[in-house]
Amino acid sequence: MTLDSPTRINPMIRHRASHIGRAVPRREDRSPLMGRQRYIADLKLPGMLEVAFVRSPEAHARIVSIDTAPALGLPGVHAVFTGADLADVDLFPHKILYIQPVRQPALAVDRVRYVGSPYAAVVATDRYVAEDAATLVAAHTEFEPLPTVADLDQALAENAPRLYDDWPDNYLVNFPAEKPEVTQAFEEADHTFSDTYVSQRQTGLPLECRGVLADVHDGYFTVWSSTQSPHIVRTTIAEMTGIPEPRLRVIAPAMGGGFGTKTHIYPEDVVVTWIAGKLGRPVRWLEDRFENLVSAVHARDQRHDVDVAYDDDGTIRAIRCKAICDVGSGEIFMPGTAPVFVTGGCLTGGYDFPNMEVHHFCVVTNKTPSGAYRGFGVPEGMFVMERIIDRVARLTGTDRVEIRRRMILQEDQMPYVMHGGGRVDSGSHAKGFERATEMIGESLERARARYADDPDVRVGVGYTNYVEPTTPTYHLTTGFWAGGDSATLRVDPDGSARVGLGTTALGQGTETTAAQLAADALGLDPDDVTVVMGDTDRAPYGLGAWGSRSAIVMSGSILMAADRLLTKARDIAAHLLEAAAEDVVLSDGSFHVSGSEAPTVSWSQVATSAWVRTLDLPQGMEPGLEMSGYFEPPDLEHLPDMSGKVNAAASWSNGAHAGVVSVRISTGEIKIEDYVVVHDCGTMINPMIIDGQVHGGVAQGIAGAMYEHFQYDPETARPLFASFMEYLYPTCSEVPAMTVEHFETPSPEQPLGVKGCGEGGTIGPAAVVAGAVDDALADLGVEIKATPVTPSAIREAIREATAGGGER
Amino acid sequence: MKPAPFDYYRPATVEDALAALGTSETAKVLAGGQSLIPAMNFRLSQPDLLVDIGGVEGFDRMEVGPSGVMIGASVTQSRVMASDEVANAVPGLRRALHHVAHLQIRNRGTICGSIAHADPAAELPALAIACGATLFLQGPAGERTVDAGDFFLGPFWTDLGEGEIITGVHFPSEPADTVTFLDELAWRSGDFAITGLAGALATRGGSVSGARMVSFGVSGAPGRMTGAEQAVLGFSAGDDGSAVYGAAYEDGADAVDDVHATAEYRREALGALAVRSVRAALSTNGNGTGV
């Protein structure tokens, strides 16, 4: 706990109108809705050239030769660079706990390990010419194909082809575990079963693909990158290229989403900056959708081999889980190894379940590197846990709600330390589940009535109770950064405030919520607050927006800066009022002596004294009215203890989801009839924005539960997708209306009691949909063990369960 | 995702269009561009010349007569869908177009373009076969007509000859005793079909007296379901449908596997679609009483 981090609004502020907790309209919506948002694709600089990357068509091959001459001969082509030009650049700068060292080249030098891997860059007058030239480079590249590894089984087979010759096998992470108490529970339990659950490969799929524009002038670089973490991009590019950090400005302009995919340091960020320096003129690369599908990080792709020990009465005694993540080629920083640890640590969700033994593995294959995606491992784990609970309920004839009631976390258990070390400080797990059950019960009755006359349709209900870790450490992920973030606050002579933040905005409403926070912290109106983010020259150092961290780190850092600012402002006001500082309070935007309404001194008068009429300041006081705060979340741990346990998240929101589906037996068609969410992220800064986060999260959860799936040819490891013809995301026609309710259990440890809410919605749907389909088809004996749950998969499950087709 | 270089020509007459097509072996006709342009952006299609027929005189005609509906080569799907006259003459056309992609795509996409493109999962080729439509073609050797049932040869492969274009398609008026229908399974609204079925069903005395049934999205080309067409004869509202299911399942013997569904799924779905759409068609047509 830092000494100087306030957790509440400064008590000097009286009679203020609180903006925290109000559904303040989003100030960032106007531009995109009017078509006036400026994305990187809208930015043009004089003399700007366009870059096209040449990407590997081979899943695994040696690059024998590249002849760039034909491409260079094309009119309009300015340069072609290959891996050899940037061979010294390693994009994997930091050694990270538990993982094999990986080298990530800027451009593949002599070997490619996945289809889509960039191995050359073409610079031309426009993108059309650049792609013509890229086609020529590709036509004049000779590859020597190597044996491919398309999935976990192939990667772990004896004598499997290895992606990295100097590794003994294909394990990027090999971290078994053993708990004596789990072994003992297996010996004592009435029964055991083993099963395998699979979460498919997906991606975050932002509407706006990636993009980089780099300019260099007088040795000063400006890089516009569609990134969630501009400061991390700056620090990393500087380290990679040797550009001094003060001469490198990274701007994350308006963004069309990120969902985790834009937290990584991509080769394109570094290569485009390097090219700008090399050519001395602005260059831009805009990722197209095909590139986005094959080269922005993938996610999920986990298999869980579980053993479960349980008793006749439905008590689950212990679970042993081998969690194996297919991380693709592994050539990405930050690496895709962290999600599986989060899966393991959060597998027990909102349940009191200590007897859990998780073995963590990450395996490399000839596929796109995997990394971050909203939910970050938690949805995969909840899918496993709820599948196990439903199966035990079915095997023992226990009611599915009752079995969950017995296990769910109770308020008197707080703080509750989970099996992996996660420390849940508070929550409404039990009452949230009760409320969700109550709400969905009515939906279930309605759906049953709706299909009562159709014997081809069955109706079922599914449940999940999860925890949502927020504001995690970045140290276990990157081996470098930690978990804090900063704010600067300035009050200008006109009395309005400017807040600069190290976090960023990618569509989630941060500008509005930051203004609400700063307004309350300074006793101002949100309209008097201007928020600046996403620019390393204008905003203070920070780690950006990911891991549902912005709410906590903004709250903490804004309160810190505000406290410092208020202390100085009060001294100035007291001087102007000729009163003692300790008697001065701030109400309705004006300073006055406590107990007397007049005279008053406004924020504008105080700031004018501080910046302009500095002769009015108390003797010896340094002019200026700007303060900063760097907030390190309390209780956030950055390294595991000797037993491997770590509280890697500053806070833990919770939620209960329940859904009703109808399934048409003859065709496997599935429809979500109703979906309810009971959510608790502590103190709510803006309930409307939180609702939006939950809705969007559930939509992406449904994407994983029923639609999105990157499939690869098992023979060649080539992608069986190139566009949205193959990779199906749900549209507004497929995402059902949902009901969202909230409990508000403030965190006792985090500033203002906030917890974070960006990812919870994503966690529930896979578990809920699978549970509901199982329930609907229970009399056929169907058990869903993998996502996505498509009609084809449902028919296959019915065929397997009924050995031949079941009812038609 | 930018196309390879190409030339663009927008002729005003069909003669000019044909002459332009004759100048290049890789030239392509551009109508609505809803399939061709994405294929060009992926460089899967690299024509050196695009002949835009959007301005060709007479290609925008849409005429409803006693024999049916004549739709010119540049008539958009939205325009056809909006016409009550067309819907009265060939009710199945509007019903089928609801399944074709999304509004924005139908605003540009043409009926004839979809037929010429011959995507095996597209609705309009199958509907043209089911309706007994006639295609009007014109090429270097002159004009000719082809029955839709003889036109589709395989995936993206038709009877269209070198330098030949579709100038129009004629959908015959729906007979009073017949219902034209189209049903499909797609994972998302507006997608190409995972499994689809277009049909025209004649009924007499409450049971089926004649049928033309066409599967699409199941195999490499839309195809007549000869087994189901036989099995459905005499089908009435009370029948359990198992014979139709079984026959349709067998009609799907050449179903394909892909990332969306297995071949076995497509066969089962074709069976289920056959039963449900025949039932629905019977109830549409005078609640199964027929004429």
pLDDT score recorded for residue A92: 67
| Confidence at A5, pLDDT banded by 50, 70, 90 | confident
Max Cα-Cα span within chain A: 91
Q: What percent of chain A has pLDDT over 90?
A: 92
Residue B4 sits at the chain A interface (C-beta within 8 Å): yes
Question: How is B175-189 classified by DSSP, letter by letter?
Answer: PTTEEEEEEEE-SST
Please choose, from the candidates B169, B155, B181, the residue with its C-alpha nearest in 3D space to the C-alpha of residue B113: B169
Q: Do B188 and A131 touch (CB under 8 A)?
A: no
What are the E-state strand segments in A443-527? 457-472, 485-491, 497-501
pLDDT in tens, chain B (291 residues): 999 999 999 999 999 999 999 999 999 999 999 999 999 999 999 999 999 999 999 999 999 999 999 999 999 999 999 999 999 999 999 999 999 999 999 999 999 999 999 999 999 999 999 999 999 999 999 999 999 999 999 999 999 999 999 999 999 999 999 999 999 999 999 999 999 999 999 999 889 999 999 999 999 999 999 999 999 999 998 899 999 999 999 999 999 999 999 999 999 999 999 999 999 999 876 443 333
CA distance A214 to chain B (A): 21
For A99-152, how does the pLDDT look when each residue is reduced to its tens digit (9 = 90+)? 888 778 899 999 999 999 999 999 999 999 999 999 999 999 999 999 999 999
Tell me which architecture the domain covering A299-475+637-802 has in CATH: 2-Layer Sandwich (3.30)
Residue partners of A98: CB distance under 8 A and separation at least 6: A173, A175, A337, A360
Alpha-carbon distance of A565 to A477, in angstroms, equals 34
Alpha-carbon distance of A785 to A199, in angstroms, equals 9
Mutation site for B-interface testing, chosen from A667, A710, A789, A796 by largest number of B Cβ within 10 Å:
A667
Residue partners of A581: CB distance under 8 A and separation at least 6: A570, A571, A574
For A95-114, how does the pLDDT look when each residue is reduced to its tens digit (9 = 90+)? 777 788 877 889 999 999 99
> Token match 């509407």: residue?
A207
Tell me which architecture the domain covering B62-172 has in CATH: 2-Layer Sandwich (3.30)
| Confidence at A93, pLDDT banded by 50, 70, 90 | low
Residue partners of A331: CB distance under 8 A and separation at least 6: A92, A102, A103, A104, A105, A113, A114, A117, A369
Instruction: Determine the average pLDDT of the residues in A633-644.
Output: 91
Q: Do A792 and B261 touch (CB under 8 A)?
A: yes
- Comparing alpha-carbon positions, the chain A residue that sits nearest to B276 is A666
Sheet of A649-664, strand order: A457-472, A649-664, A670-680, A739-742
Tell me which architecture the domain covering A40-146+209-255+261-295 has in CATH: Alpha-Beta Complex (3.90)
As a CATH number, domain B7-53 is 3.30.43.10
CA distance B244 to chain A (A): 12
Alpha-carbon distance of A807 to A798, in angstroms, equals 9
Residue B188 with chain A: CB contacts under 8 Å: 707, 728, 730-731, 733-734
Alpha-carbon distance of B231 to B244, in angstroms, equals 5
In three-state secondary structure terms, A165 is coil
Name the residue type at position B134. Answer: T
CA angle B38, B43, B47 (to 5 degrees): 90
**CB neighbour burial string for A237-268, b if at least 16 within 10 angstroms, e if fewer:** bbbbbebeeeebbbbbbbbbbbbbbbbbbbbb
pLDDT for A30 beyond 90: yes
What do you get for the CA distance between the two ends of chain B, in Å? 55
Which residue ranges does chain A devote to CATH 3.30.365.10? 13-37+484-631, 299-475+637-802
Instruction: Determine the average pLDDT of the residues in A668-672.
Output: 97
Q: Do B38 and A723 touch (CB under 8 A)?
A: yes
Whole-model pTM over 0.90: yes
Please choose, from the candidates A92, A287, A302, the residue with its C-alpha nearest in 3D space to the C-alpha of residue A205: A287
Alpha-carbon distance of B47 to B38, in angstroms, equals 13
| Confidence at A15, pLDDT banded by 50, 70, 90 | low
pLDDT for A4 beyond 90: no
Alpha-carbon distance of A724 to B159, in angstroms, equals 29
Residue B155 sits at the chain A interface (C-beta within 8 Å): no
What topology does CATH give the domain A13-37+484-631? Aldehyde Oxidoreductase; domain 4 (3.30.365)
Query: Domain B178-288's class?
Result: alpha beta
**Residues B60, B75 contacting (CB under 8 angstroms):** yes
B207-216 and B195-204 beta bridge pairing: antiparallel
Distances in Å between the Cα of A689 and the Cα atoms of A9, A516, A551 are 21, 12, 12
For A262-303, how does the pLDDT look when each residue is reduced to its tens digit (9 = 90+)? 999 999 999 999 999 999 999 999 999 999 999 999 999 999
| Confidence at A72, pLDDT banded by 50, 70, 90 | very high
For A541-583, how does the pLDDT look when each residue is reduced to its tens digit (9 = 90+)? 999 999 999 999 999 999 999 999 999 999 999 999 999 999 9
Which residue ranges does chain A devote to CATH 3.90.1170.50? 40-146+209-255+261-295
Mean pLDDT computed over every residue of chain A? 95
Name the residue type at position A602. Answer: S
Q: Which residues pair with A299 in a beta bridge?
A: A202
Domain ranges of chain B: 7-53, 62-172, 178-288
Residue A720 sits at the chain B interface (C-beta within 8 Å): yes
Chain A / chain B CB contacts < 8 angstroms = 82
**The two three-digit tokens of residue A665, written as one number:** 């037996």
Q: Which residues pair with A212 in a beta bridge?
A: A225, A285
Same fold, B7-53 and B62-172: no
pLDDT score recorded for residue B285: 62
Omega prior to A748 cis, within 30 of 0: no
Q: Residues of A numbered 107-146 whose beta carbons fall under 8 angstroms of chain B's beta carbons: which are they?
A: 127-128, 131-132, 135
